[in-house]
Structure 1
């Protein structure tokens, strides 16, 4: 059973979504492929699994409730730790194939199991990446009600509502800084900043307001407003400490020739 799942970009609201603010994201045309076949023993890319290197795949396999050993082969057209949701893409692909083999395939179930997998591995996460990859297209994720709701995901008493946004086609340039980032470490870093600084939650809330303000421009294709909001969002992400000298240089170099630019994801 083979599945092909996309990468994603978070347009607005990364990190703030962990604290209950909305985030907007969309799938892009880069893909992971997961090919699963029954086997005499559990294998990942022709080798016995190692949780140190295969934590997302192994956890997805366990949480999918698949009882038989399988051989899982993974290929990806984009780099891990690049902010494009590589772990979510592979996780969703793994869950999707396993549920299809067992006759339990549904997008909502895939989204739930994939989120549980990421939460288990990372320690703290929102369903943004896994729901975007599962759904495709554009989504909003919020703890408040959303229009065109796809599903609701609950964890530890917290509910996230995932809804579809009909984003007008966008031409995005996704540039890699070459700096590998860990989502879990950055989430922890932001949590430390918010805990230590009295104005930390003010920054989080302002990012949430930017996300809400971006919905209509995204649906209308208002590139100028989208760009302005991206620049504002990026400044706030830098205050939270998730920026890097190299990403700042890249963004500064393209701003004179674009509507706007920002960090995406990790």
Structure 2
């Protein structure tokens, strides 16, 4: 199927995207077991800086300090070395965000929940430097993060000790405290001039990158620039950190040449293996940021589509079952911009359960039944994502789920206002997503909603201080653009436009990033240069 829709971002102009379907095959779905953990802790919310700040940052990137030193590092012999060519072409990696579609809060009590990818994505451009340059730089202009390390100064001896050294095929379920400790001096100078809250976010991001780099890389690793841009609201509960960790893990695994594909003829089981390899290391990055993540966000960001998540015994790993054939559906994501705390909302439900155990248990059980009904509906042979009747059946389940969450006391007036506005326009079915108490709401949109109604709703939401994103639910997972070349409307069939650092850094906001490098171009057409690992039932 093909459908065109408009994605709206932080007060910018609409950007058209196009969804696409996958053909089915007869392979068997295997549950993915993720490492044992608990719920993530909330992170400070950050707004994307205006373009002027990004441009200013770009102008000073050449002055980025090495390991916090004010003076650039020179070769020990004092002689200048001849510049050599990069070791590999620039390439890009992209991964989606995620939403919880069904089962919030019930999942805390061992019930099933459904999480699905959304087509708001992170993009990582990797540029190898000449052999004479012995530095790695992480740049994330959307949060004003830039830091450079000298490769030879990093604690390779500790990370390569017997019993400490990890390989690309290893399953890492916990962070090694000795390795974390030996990294700390190399994170101490990250964003020294930033506020405490911002610096906390920067250091968490840098720690994820550095832990993965030291685990997968080596002392002989080539100097490289890692430049991140994200179209996912940061701190909004949409899986932005997991999306970034997937990009980092996939890029490093590609650089050490331990991934095959992606390519159209790749066998399904081989694609599964590559996806799981990326997913395992993305989880390690998530541990650096959140401590004890659930493993759901990185799984969805890696494989795309959707998963059923359940953890009935906290002494054992959760069960994460992929829904490889989850359909692509039109979705409106609205950010309330209301600060929220997952811990506070979970505590609310626990208090209610203590005061009214039977009533609360009945609500939690009902939420589980809604999630189970949604899986049955989607997997039924008669479900058609282009038919209003099928979407209406799924939408009614979302409405029921939201009502049950309201009964648990985890909604918020700004969330209810979104539902009121959508219901008034009659364009879809709305529920809160995630912990509630603020954060985001999602709306399953009716097909062929008139553009004038969407514009009217968008104007109202903007006037009332909301951010909205028209996107796709159940999109592709991690993708690769190798080399980083796109045609971008060029008539030259044999060539294309190379995505260089300056163009990527200066892309103006969400629309600019998507127009320049996005999986979908400005016209909404799929860019064939982007390749994905795809697995189907």
Whether TM exceeds 0.5 here: the answer is yes
Match of 2:403 in 1: 235
Secondary structure in 2 matching 1:79: coil
Asked if structure 2 preserves the Cα contact closer than 8 Å seen for 1:81 and 1:180, the reply is no
Q: Say whether 1:9 aligns with 2:164.
A: no
The change in CA–CA distance for 1:255 and 1:123 in structure 2 (over 3 A counts) is farther
Q: Post-superposition shift, 1:42?
A: 4.4
Deviates more, 1:97-106 or 1:130-139: 97-106
Q: Post-superposition shift, 1:229?
A: 1.2
Alpha-carbon distance in structure 1 between the residues aligned to 2:295 and 2:237: 15
Q: Post-superposition shift, 1:119?
A: 4.2
Secondary structure in 2 matching 1:157: coil
Alpha-carbon distance in structure 2 between the residues aligned to 1:104 and 1:155: 33
Asked if structure 2 preserves the Cα contact closer than 8 Å seen for 1:61 and 1:98, the reply is no
Asked if structure 1 preserves the Cα contact closer than 8 Å seen for 2:237 and 2:434, the reply is yes
Alpha-carbon distance in structure 2 between the residues aligned to 1:114 and 1:20: 24
Give 5+ residue unaligned stretches, structure 1. Answer: 145-153
Describe the superposition over 1:32-86 as per-residue Cα deviations: whole angstroms up to 9, x where unpaired.
1012345634432132545612314522541461345753211012321223221
Q: Aligned match of 2:134 in 30, 40, 43?
A: 40
For 1:244-255, list aligned pairs within 5 A.
244-255=412-423
Q: Say whether 1:87 aligns with 2:264.
A: no
Describe the superposition over 1:176-204 as per-residue Cα deviations: whole angstroms up to 9, x where unpaired.
223354xxx31x22432343333355443
Secondary structure in 1 matching 2:321: strand
Secondary structure in 1 matching 2:237: coil
Q: Say whether 1:218 aligns with 2:397.
A: no
Asked if structure 1 preserves the Cα contact closer than 8 Å seen for 2:349 and 2:409, the reply is no
For 1:133-152, list aligned pairs within 5 A.
133-143=301-311
When the two structures are aligned, how many residues end up with a matched partner? 253
The change in CA–CA distance for 1:124 and 1:190 in structure 2 (over 3 A counts) is farther
Alpha-carbon distance in structure 2 between the residues aligned to 1:103 and 1:156: 35
Q: Say whether 1:263 aligns with 2:422.
A: no
Alpha-carbon distance in structure 1 between the residues aligned to 2:428 and 2:377: 13
Q: Post-superposition shift, 1:223?
A: 1.5
For 1:102-117, list aligned pairs within 5 A.
102-105=256-259, 106-117=274-285
Asked if structure 1 preserves the Cα contact closer than 8 Å seen for 2:121 and 2:232, the reply is yes
Secondary structure in 1 matching 2:432: coil
Q: Aligned match of 2:350 in 190, 195, 201?
A: 195
Alpha-carbon distance in structure 1 between the residues aligned to 2:134 and 2:433: 41
Asked if structure 2 preserves the Cα contact closer than 8 Å seen for 1:127 and 1:160, the reply is no
Match of 2:177 in 1: none
The change in CA–CA distance for 1:118 and 1:228 in structure 2 (over 3 A counts) is same
For 1:8-87, list aligned pairs within 5 A.
8-37=98-127, 40-45=134-139, 46-48=146-148, 49=190, 52-54=200-202, 55-63=204-212, 65-68=215-218, 70-87=224-241
Richer in helix (by share)? 1
Alpha-carbon distance in structure 1 between the residues aligned to 2:282 and 2:315: 16
Match of 2:442 in 1: none
RMSD, matched Cα: 2.9
Asked if structure 1 preserves the Cα contact closer than 8 Å seen for 2:96 and 2:120, the reply is yes
